[in-house]
Amino acid sequence: MRFFQLILAAAFLSLPVTAAGSVPTTLDYRVKVRLRDAAAPLEGTLKVATLPPIQTRNRVKKPRFVAWRVTLQPEGRFPAPVAARLARLLYLEGPGPGLVPREGGIRVGSRFCRFWQAQTPASVGAFVYLAEIGPDLLALSYLSASLPDGEIASVELHLDRAACAPGALPAEEGRALLTSLKQWGALLEESPMQEERIN
């Protein structure tokens, strides 16, 4: 019996161990963008995929974040500045200030996820909801917003599918959306002050 226990233990130890963040987290969105002075919206899909953490010789300090790659389809439909702006409207991080859990849940593909909402500045016309796709890992689920500057007039993002492995890591730029919302709020608060100075 002892012999078989040793064999089983050796077999278990020989199994490959998946490092945290090595399996990519993927998010698939439907996107609709209205450009200023454009007759029709641009529609397509946006995909977010995290990249494996950079391996270092430091075995004690484990990676805490990963980079992500954002791609849009059909290729070439969205101008480069628009694609870069859309990447700043994403979220893939843990809960934090300005994010409030709501009762019930939200369905993402075949999964049922806990439901969160982002508090937006009063001056910003935006609705932002998030789904808890993993333990302490939130992803943007739905965004509808009017942008105060730039060539994008309005945008809608809707999460169709999310996949993440146990131990999935947040993205380095995972709070980009919250930063953008704060910038919009500051810009809109500054605009009336500028108009008052002109008058």
Per-residue pLDDT band at 1 (split at 50, 70, 90): very low
Per-residue pLDDT band at 18 (split at 50, 70, 90): very low
Q: Is the pLDDT of residue 94 over 90?
A: yes
Q: Is the pLDDT of residue 162 over 80?
A: yes
Higher pLDDT, 99 or 10: 99
Higher pLDDT, 141 or 166: 141
Q: Which of 25, 31, 21 is nearest to 160 (CA)?
A: 31
Give the pLDDT score at 57.
64
Per-residue pLDDT band at 139 (split at 50, 70, 90): very high
Element (H, E) at 81: helix 80-87
Q: How far apart are CA 164 and CA 183, in angstroms?
A: 30
Tell me the one-letter amino acid at 88. Answer: R
Q: What is the rounded end-to-end Cα distance, in angstroms, of the chain?
A: 91
Our measurement of the distance from residue 14's CA atom to the centroid of its chain's CA atoms, rounded to an integer in Å, reads 35
Per-residue pLDDT band at 174 (split at 50, 70, 90): very high
Give the pLDDT score at 58.
58
- Asked if the bond preceding 95 is cis, omega within 30° of 0, the reply is no
Please give the structure tokens belonging to residue 25.
Answer: 């987290």
